[in-house]
Structure 1
């Protein structure tokens, strides 16, 4: 017998499959139940299939997949183990197409052989004249009154299926009928599973759903589990049927195990995958070439090709399963978890697939950690020669700043300076939107609702702003606005008590702080805040922000470790006022950041 493919069009089932395998027809054995698909109700199997097919055609779907058919090699024929109802319905459907479309090659004739209903098919289904006879009868009673020899349950269902399909096709405009026929014949696909001819046909059962468009990974699951017996075909020892069923059962459980793991919320979040991604992302790690396949079912298309080329289904499955085990190990080893999580969740170009390419083939924990450390060193903008971060601009380097602040958080969970190694919860990072924000307000949005400055805040403004500013240094064309800026600076410098900012002066304040208070742009005046929390803090100075953050934490909201330490002033070594954020605090914070990043680099260099 020639080797069959895994997937065929519906036309190919009746033509190419039989040609490839040198078979004459499909055989429906006597032990199987007869044709039982209902067709009269709206939710009947025949109507659901017809509606699904027409919907796929109307939506111009590239392909539409019906469920598996399972066949057994039986000399000149294929014994249909599972799929009788679908094949029979398709046979009737094509028979009616051929009756309505003159000149089309009748490729179904004598291809489906019912051991107990052969005469009916030959008389009424395979020929244009025969199938047209059925459509002329209004009722089942009229039909059997003239065809008493066909008065049985199988023919009853076939009669009604024929009438239903005929009515459905009659409602399709003539200019569309040929297009619909060609779509079903060439674009509707069926996956074929051919069993060993020594298996006991009557004991084989595979659950299927008629007319369901299958997901890519469902097709792969079916392909691998049903093809496992063929892996042993050429070996001296042939598996028994019980052994085959045990293997399939085990593989099914392992597949479900992979699927459950791959869809866990913590796993999906940690590895930055789509919540509805199934296990496709794991399979693509095993076979990255899938990403270049142009198909609506790229995974199945690629793996079925690999199988046709000789890669055993068992090996394909083992490769997928082994990657799940590796990823699970990484997730559960704290140090790898934290290093890998940092790369995945910091704003760089490292995806899981890119990291996988870097570490693929590395088996030891030590070597994996070494490679992850080397990658991280390249991602943090730190100049080791001066033990300081490279200059980062708030407006232009927000991704780099996010990376720095995330690293400051993760340091607390790494074995640095006797820190207890622990799992960092990246899900808390992944589930929120984050922003880099000024601790002492600087942005126009931050300042728009601020009207009063206390004497302490005035002291900070004096500290941050220059003593004076010349008119030619102001990059504003409007003369009145220039005067406002100069006058407001003088007002700030000469105020010793409370300062009120009028609405007309706010634009001048924004200009002074954004253009002249250079220390406000330093990394020491920045912190990582969740967007929702930041929106409630932006119109406040440090003391109110500090109190609100403490309140958020007490209510169970997540605030990054480093951010909390900043607003609690736990990182400020010098004597400082807990209620204000001064220029010295900005500089002290920046010093602390550089010290911690330097400690991180010392750890990263320990290979």
Structure 2
């Protein structure tokens, strides 16, 4: 049973005086790197936030239980002991920390500075590590000799007032060995959400607790739905996804704080029950957007590049009248972005990021335009896969390194050209090539001849939007450096096998946008032009909607 959860400064820990480390825990084992890292982190914090009352450095949770006149430390003893050793060097009053296996450990730490230069043998391994850590602390401070006293004084004040721990107190009836074991095996995760849940439960009446637990579980279960989760955009990995909602409430995304417990210490200062009501309201809003097909697609696109928090704040601002107005503003934001892009000037080698944006939006709008209300763009798949740009038709043989790849390229070339009388001689030559005797040198000569004789016939040299589609890297790598008809047939096979091919990419390979299809053996200049016009038309429709001229 949790008795208390709060933030306590190091000065408040000193006031509590007595801490006891039970025998089931290993002794103090922090080495040079761990001690230096803590000191360096504290110095960096002091440089940036010294004496700013609303800023503090938060240490990992200190899990304790009331024990006689002090507290038994269940988790956090390594940091607590290091703080006591820093106090010893700074000659500051500290708390007493006693290891059950070393009854005089508190006295040893307290007097370590005074006895440091005495030639006495270290009588046990724990005291050896105490002295090693103290030596690191001593040498670290001595390197700051310039303005040393001023530095020590500032550091001491900062340590006492601005360094805090998450005080996690369990009841005296708790089996501490089990808690210690579960903490150290990872079965108990002291995440922001778990800490806040504990704080919420503590401040809620006994009769309301089951309802909160049920609400909590229902929200977590819903957030485990991958489509719902990925529609909310790119996020870090969460052990408990509900923590994402607490991060929103704490405005963690815009804080850029590296502190893993930023959300907890930001929210614990507030009315935790009011925070929970905000979590419920935010979740309901996100669910409403998810269920609205148009909101789903517009926000799904926008949250690939900006945090969902921005749109929650926008929706609740005085500038938004209702949901329809909100959707109009979303379209205006997207439109403003695409109006600044010159589609016909985009180049594969210089504008990859912009082309990916354009093709992602084109695919999303293509899905949204479908009459079938059950058709959704799968952001869950888009975010889980790596995506790249693929040339619809490519003559370049760069990247073809095996006999199998050379053979496929030659066979694809034959299939492409055999219906065209002007290439009869070239096709006959290719048919005489012994695929088994192919070498890299022979293949390079063959491909060079093909390119020279077919130059200008196909849209083979284009690196513009007229010759590019969006594909996941797995599919892309199997299609790359082949002629259009080879790619087309392979894409159909992938589609039949259940692989996800973006709708606009599939439409493009099937020449859905071409005005007149005379043959499927090549990707012509006319096909490329029709494809770009289709993208321009889709974007123009969105721009008109954003201006309130037409409705989707």
Do they superpose with TM above 0.5?
yes
What's the CA shift for 1:585? 2.5
State the SS of the aligned residue for 1:563. Answer: helix
2:263 counterpart residue number: 299
Return the match for 1:374 from 322, 329, 332.
332
What's the CA shift for 1:269? 2.8
CA distance, structure 2, for counterparts of residue 343 and residue 55 of structure 1: 42
1:191 counterpart residue number: 166
What's the CA shift for 1:549? 0.8
Return the match for 1:338 from 282, 297, 306.
297
CA gap 1:459/1:602 in 2 versus in 1, 3 angstroms = farther
CA gap 1:11/1:440 in 2 versus in 1, 3 angstroms = same
2:349 counterpart residue number: 395
**Larger gyration radius, structure 1 or structure 2:** 1
Return the match for 1:60 from 38, 60, 65.
38
**2:466–2:528 CA contact under 8 A, matched in 1:** yes
**2:480 matches 1:538:** yes
**1:408–1:562 CA contact under 8 A, matched in 2:** yes
What's the CA shift for 1:524? 2.9
CA distance, structure 1, for counterparts of residue 294 and residue 384 of structure 2: 22
**2:470–2:502 CA contact under 8 A, matched in 1:** yes
**2:391 matches 1:413:** no
Moved more, 419-428 or 444-453: 444-453
- Cα deviation code 1:139-185 (max 9, x no counterpart): xxxxxxxxxxxxxxxxxxxxxxxxxxx945323263534768999x9
- Cα deviation code 1:524-570 (max 9, x no counterpart): 32222222112212232222211111111111111111222222233
1:7 counterpart residue number: 7
State the SS of the aligned residue for 1:329. Answer: helix
Moved more, 569-578 or 388-397: 388-397
CA gap 1:399/1:277 in 2 versus in 1, 3 angstroms = farther
**1:382–1:597 CA contact under 8 A, matched in 2:** no
CA gap 1:406/1:513 in 2 versus in 1, 3 angstroms = farther
CA distance, structure 2, for counterparts of residue 263 and residue 584 of structure 1: 46
CA gap 1:127/1:406 in 2 versus in 1, 3 angstroms = closer
State the SS of the aligned residue for 2:345. Answer: coil
CA distance, structure 1, for counterparts of residue 29 and residue 131 of structure 2: 18
- Cα deviation code 1:569-599 (max 9, x no counterpart): 3333414213332333333333333334434
CA distance, structure 2, for counterparts of residue 546 and residue 171 of structure 1: 71
What's the CA shift for 1:399? 2.5
Return the match for 2:126 from 169, 174, 184.
169
Higher relative contact order (CA 8 A, sep 6+): 2
**2:62–2:75 CA contact under 8 A, matched in 1:** no
What's the CA shift for 1:406? 2.4
1:322 counterpart residue number: 281
- Cα deviation code 1:246-267 (max 9, x no counterpart): 3344434444444444455334
State the SS of the aligned residue for 1:320. Answer: helix
Alignment of 1:116-131 (within 5 A): none
State the SS of the aligned residue for 1:380. Answer: helix
What's the CA shift for 1:407? 2.9
State the SS of the aligned residue for 1:6. Answer: strand
1:582 counterpart residue number: 524
Return the match for 1:214 from 190, 195, 199.
190
What's the CA shift for 1:426? 1.4
**1:338–1:414 CA contact under 8 A, matched in 2:** yes
What's the CA shift for 1:68? 4.8
- Cα deviation code 1:53-109 (max 9, x no counterpart): 999647638564344558xxxxxxxx879994329998xx98xx89xx799677558
Return the match for 2:72 from 70, 85, 101.
85
Return the match for 2:444 from 484, 503, 524.
503
**1:67–1:214 CA contact under 8 A, matched in 2:** no
Gapped regions of structure 2 (runs ≥ 5):
42-57, 112-122, 142-154, 431-441
2:308 counterpart residue number: 352
CA gap 1:373/1:171 in 2 versus in 1, 3 angstroms = same
Alignment of 1:594-605 (within 5 A): 594-604=536-546, 605=548
What's the CA shift for 1:419? 5.8
2:48 counterpart residue number: none
**2:387–2:470 CA contact under 8 A, matched in 1:** yes
CA distance, structure 1, for counterparts of residue 336 and residue 213 of structure 2: 42
Gapped regions of structure 1 (runs ≥ 5):
19-24, 29-34, 71-78, 113-120, 133-165, 196-200, 230-243, 463-491
CA distance, structure 2, for counterparts of residue 127 and residue 547 of structure 1: 77
What's the CA shift for 1:323? 1.8
State the SS of the aligned residue for 2:390. Answer: strand
What's the CA shift for 1:336? 0.8
- Cα deviation code 1:253-311 (max 9, x no counterpart): 4444444444553344332212336444333322326615464522223224xx2xxx3
CA distance, structure 2, for counterparts of residue 302 and residue 530 of structure 1: 40
2:244 counterpart residue number: 281
Return the match for 2:381 from 419, 425, 428.
428
CA gap 1:281/1:250 in 2 versus in 1, 3 angstroms = same
State the SS of the aligned residue for 2:208. Answer: helix
What's the CA shift for 1:420? 4.1
**1:69–1:82 CA contact under 8 A, matched in 2:** no
Return the match for 1:562 from 495, 499, 504.
504
**1:336–1:369 CA contact under 8 A, matched in 2:** yes
**1:381–1:390 CA contact under 8 A, matched in 2:** no
TM-score normalised by structure 1 residue count: 0.60
CA distance, structure 2, for counterparts of residue 406 and residue 254 of structure 1: 35
CA distance, structure 1, for counterparts of residue 105 and residue 400 of structure 2: 82
TM-score normalised by structure 2 residue count: 0.65
Return the match for 1:246 from 207, 217, 229.
207
CA distance, structure 1, for counterparts of residue 125 and residue 36 of structure 2: 15
CA gap 1:421/1:127 in 2 versus in 1, 3 angstroms = closer
State the SS of the aligned residue for 1:245. Answer: coil
CA gap 1:262/1:52 in 2 versus in 1, 3 angstroms = farther
State the SS of the aligned residue for 1:435. Answer: strand
